[in-house]
Chains A and B, each alone.
Chain A
Amino acid sequence: MTTLTTAVRSTVAVNRTLIASATFVAFGLADILLFGLFSHGDATFAFAQFGAKVGVPNLVLPAAPVAYALGAVSIAIGVLRATVPLSRAGRRACIAGAVLAFVISLLCWADAGNSTALNVINLLQGTVVYSIPLILGALAGVMCERSGVINIAIEGQLLLGAFAAAVITSAFSSLWLGLIAGSLAGGLLGGVLAVFAIKFLVDQIILGVVLNVFASGLTGYLYDRALVPYQNRLNSPVTFSSVKIPLLGDIPIIGPVFFDSTIFLYITYAMIALVQVGLFRTRWGLRVRAVGEHPTAADTVGIKVLATRYRNVLMGGLIAGIGGAFLTIGQVGSFGKDMSSGEGYIALAAMIFGRWTPLGATAAALLFGFSTSLQSILATLNVPIPSNILLMAPYIVTIVAVAGLVGKVRAPKADGQPYVKA
């Protein structure tokens, strides 16, 4: 049986190349047959926001030829992938190239013959902003699962964080207090998760789902009973306003997208860097990963397995809580029932697609964020497709991309397994 599975695995490795290149070719064909053939006229792209300091001229592209050319590029990438053995970086560049070609073709098609320009800055800004809760949620997942505890409760942590931030900000008129409260609320749910998963060895998947239902029920009840009747006192928080970073914020294109946003975006940057460097460069991270991979081995060299797990699950909850706070005091303003609307699950998916690494999860979250942003922009462009299909399309593309392009994903070995001393 052992050799049988290795044999199967090696054919999978061979197929991987074929699947990947077939996916690239499929992307290329889509560029040509869908976007190329159905595009008529020019597409106009705007790269500046109204009133920007430095003007950037609009870019006008003949939509169909561009889509054809990009389709050809994508097919060429597919052929390259099938024929030349590539390094890891090379393979990633292939993915990036094909995805980019696809996206540009799609945008050309969407704006072809349209009199309004498609504002790329708005599109990218939307991407980044929609990604914030996804990234923070995914980082929370990374923190927990790297130490060996499965966290399905990200959704609940976002929701509880959103609720607490809205209420505390409204009640005390302090955004910072609200932010802290949101974070703590996520941490609280993390604490419950930790105790039941680590101490009482409850099945972590069931536990996570139960906590989500609990968070939804609790906030829903309190919303009806307290927030609706006392809307003014408890559910009308102010929101953080944008802070433009001096100099960086004035760079054309990049500035408005990355350096002119609320404090949440900057916290997110810090979190990505902290978790990434922490996990892969520090003593703390090495120990966390050891606990998530082989807790017995960690134990035999004197690492405290359970304490490590408690700590990480709590920290994960605190991070997810910030993501939750963003939903209210960073974006919408007031709390709404079940307002996290599945973003916690998307964050979970981003974590997995990102192979349990902060940077990978961030990239995946950005992809999801881009989908959402694109869909909302396309809706304003009168694209001849029913809006429900538009809502769906980015996800379908994402699934195809992930199934075809992301290789073997491997969870931490001891993920979800409680540690019981012999």
Chain B
Amino acid sequence: MKLELKGITKRYGSLVANDHIDLTVEQGQIHALLGENGAGKTTLVNVLYGLAQPDEGEILIDGQPQHLGSPSHAIKAGIGMVHQHFMLVPVFTVAENVTLGMERTRVLGLIDRRRTRRDVRELSERYGLQVNPDTLVEDLPVGVQQRVEIVKALLREANVLILDEPTSVLTPGESQELFRIMRELRSGGRSIVFISHKLKEVQEIADTITVIRRGRVVGQRPPTTSDAELASLMVGRSVQLRVTKPPASPGDVRLDVQGLTVAGEEDKSALDEVSFQVRAGEILGVAGVQGNGQTELCEALLGLVPAAAGSVRLEGQDLTHATPRQRLHSGVGYIPEDRQEDGLVAGFSVGENLILDVYNEPPYSSGIALDRGTINKTAAERVADFDIRTTSTATPVGTLSGGNQQKVILAREIGRDVRLLVASQPTRGLDVGSIEFVHRRIVEERDQGVAVLIISSELDEIYALSDRIAVMYEGKITGFRDPDVPPEELGMLMAGASDADAAAFGAAADHGQIAGGEAADETGLMEAGLYGVGLPGVAGNRREPADEGPAAGDGTHADGSDGSGSGSQSGGTQSGGSGSGPADDSGADPE
């Protein structure tokens, strides 16, 4: 089935979310839509799925013009969609969710549970989706929920499957599993519209990449196109994929954490006698697979959870039992992991969000009244200074794109005089342009003498920012390393290997690398360390189809051909990681 979009235009008031977009999706093709947050990708696929009506343009399927007035029209036309925010009822079972709207029934509309279950199981087996029809959706990990959405679309016999930012909620291992499923579907003759703002992903999986910027198609490229070219198409100017950062000049110890312990569920400690120091003018990066105590570390540093044991000192001052507000006053800035939940009040304006932590202090308030004038003035300055794209400072922050929301938080947290900056997953879900901006500002803070603690599950980010790296595993710090550590050594630490073992392995690998290793190999090893050891289940499921090889090759090739300063580190990681051969071998090695 061939799908054509011609001149699709969608306006929201004065904003043109889609501006005469033309797109052709051939049968059996994975067509990637690449674009920054707010570029209009979701709007376009909403139009395609009948959720939004275009102001201009038409949609043709196999040459026939279609009227897609509602999702049911789209479903009938063979279009299926997995939404960015899943459309699943959490308290329903998988089978109920999948068949909702097209239930298998017996007399009197009674639901035929046995047939429903059988259908779902058959379909999920056919594509190796592994979903149990009887589980409640709320009990499933996000990655499996996504598969439920895919089964849902397949049951409706979707010939074109739209996946809106499917990987933004997935772990790297789950993303690989999704890609395997996508390839399977493609080989079954279905077309896939794959939306992402991550370069490596589209290079890895797409057959064709269409880049959208500010509502317009700005180019169509093959997946072999270099990172740098795609990034500059996407952002509209050339971007640096890695921050250039002068060497650190650390000063005195600023943050001193000793034996910090936080109680977890049952008898386990979520944080287990963690000790580290961060100096002024230094960035300490905390690496680790998500869920190994990083969240608790942040919360304990900010006073959001009580410390069961240990101490936290900032510039000698004991903050172990201080309230969050006392800590903020002592100069702690905090960029939380979940910005919508913990960082912003979505319904408040940009200006109000910018003073959330100081609203009760002069000059923003006097007595019981807020000083709106000062608040607006400061807000306007910050908006300009941090390049926050918003129509006004009175706009509710919830309507901003993710990147701009993060800039609001950044502006609030480092706009005042901070001594310590704790940033958890500071660029999660952000586009290239915003990542660059956030990284640059964090390094600038460091250079002004702020102690910075970065917590990230993205190794790229750890390498890009850290002056020193700590690795967490099951609530403990398994080791400290300098940023020139080979990734596979970090991978071992992240998977729980002892400090000495990892060091020994790292030394050997280092040696091997000198003997003729290549950048791509190295990153391949690293990913193997992550998946192979850290997530054995995922590695076990992963079967790489034959067409995987060229993709990896292309990735390496792209890296080589573009010597113009886009970091081979960040470029190589994903494409190298998909190269299955060396990855799986080395994953077995450490054990």
Contact = CB atoms under 8 A, between A and B. Distances in A.
B87 A294 contact: yes
A271 B63 CA distance: 52
Contact of B51 (A287, A293, A300): A300
Contact of A284 (B109, B295, B305): B109
B89 A294 contact: yes
A296 interface: yes
Interface stretch (A1-9, A249-257, A311-319): A1-9
A104 interface: no
A283 B71 CA distance: 19
A12 to B, nearest CB: 13
Given A282-B109, A300-B49, 17 more contacts: A1-B336, A3-B305, A4-B304, A282-B105, A286-B96, A290-B92, A290-B100, A294-B89, A294-B90, A296-B87, A297-B87, A297-B89, A298-B89, A301-B152, A302-B75, A413-B91, A422-B51
A303 interface: yes
A300 B295 contact: no
A378 to B, nearest CB: 41
Contacts of A302: 70-72, 75, 101
Given A4-B304, A302-B71, A302-B72, A283 B105 contact: yes
Q: Which of A290, A297, A422 has the most chain B CB within a 10 Å cutoff?
A: A297
A276 B75 CA distance: 31
Interface residues on B, range: 35 or more
Contact of B100 (A4, A282, A303, A422): A303
A282 B111 contact: yes
B88 A3 contact: no
B109 A283 contact: yes
Contact of A287 (B91, B100, B304): B100
A289 B92 CA distance: 9
Classify the secondary structure of A's interface with B.
helix
Contact of B111 (A3, A281, A299, A300): A281
A297 B89 CA distance: 7
Interface of B: 46, 49, 51-52, 70-72, 75, 81, 83, 87-92, 96-97, 100-103, 105, 108-111, 152, 265, 295-296, 299, 304-305, 336, 338, 341-342
B108 A300 contact: no
A15 B341 CA distance: 27
Nearest to B70: A302
Nearest to B337: A2
A10 interface: yes
B341 A282 contact: no
A297 B295 contact: no
B101 A294 contact: no
Interface in A258-304: 277, 281-284, 286-287, 289-290, 293-294, 296-303
Contacts of A281: 110-111
Given A1-B341, A2-B341, A297 B88 contact: yes
Nearest to A281: B110
A303 B102 CA distance: 10
Contact of B88 (A2, A284, A294): A294
Given A2-B342, A300-B71, A282 B108 contact: yes
A224 to B, nearest CB: 47
Contacts of A283: 103, 105, 109-111
A300 B341 contact: no
Contacts of A3: 295-296, 299, 305
A285 to B, nearest CB: 8
Contacts of B265: 7, 10
Contacts of A10: 265
Contacts of A289: 89, 92
Contacts of A301: 71-72, 75, 87, 100-102, 152
A286 B87 contact: no
A286 B49 CA distance: 23
Interface string A1-41: 11110010010000000000000000000000000000000
A294 B138 CA distance: 13
14 contacts: A1-B338, A2-B341, A3-B305, A282-B105, A282-B108, A283-B111, A286-B111, A289-B89, A289-B92, A298-B89, A298-B101, A301-B87, A302-B71, A302-B72
Nearest to A10: B265
